[in-house]
């Protein structure tokens, strides 16, 4: 049973380019969460999605960031016109349902903006 998959593992973008981060949840999990980890910090919640629905995007920056979880395929976190401050590790987690369930995390995508 494969865990949460994220790709790419490392992504380098120049300022102004777009970054696309992909996440495939664990089999049977329909809830996806994205978190961002800045250096030396804990993870910060960004967005919670179910298939074709954004449930809570209260942690997402208002501009340049968007997320989707289509009916088919992985969840995508998209960052447009990246800036140096976007450099961080982005983690995706999934759970089978809401409630008292653990969130299982992927290995993360480390984004470096040069």
Binding positions for other proteins, rule: CB under 8 A: 31, 33, 35, 40-45, 48, 56, 59, 91, 93, 95, 98-100, 102-108, 110
Q: Which is nearer to other proteins, 63 or 102 (CB)?
A: 102
In the DSSP assignment, the letter for residue 8 is: -
Q: Which is nearer to other proteins, 25 or 106 (CB)?
A: 106
Q: Which is nearer to other proteins, 40 or 63 (CB)?
A: 40
Q: How far is the CB of 33 from other proteins (least distance, A)?
A: 7
Q: What is the DSSP string of 37-49?
A: E-TTS-EEEEEEE
């Amino acid at each position: 049973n494969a865990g949460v998959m994220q790709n790419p593992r490392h992504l380098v973008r120049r300022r102004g380019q777009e970054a696309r981060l992909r996440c495939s949840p664990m089999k049977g999990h329909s809830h996806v969460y994205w978190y961002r980890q800045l250096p030396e910090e804990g993870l910060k919640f960004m967005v919670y999605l179910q298939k074709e629905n954004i449930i809570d995007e209260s942690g997402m920056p208002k501009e340049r960031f968007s997320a989707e979880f289509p009916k088919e395929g992985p969840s995508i976190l998209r960052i447009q016109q990246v800036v140096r401050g976007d450099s961080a590790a982005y983690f995706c987690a999934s759970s089978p349902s809401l409630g008292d369930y653990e969130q299982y995390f992927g290995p993360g995508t480390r984004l470096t903006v040069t």
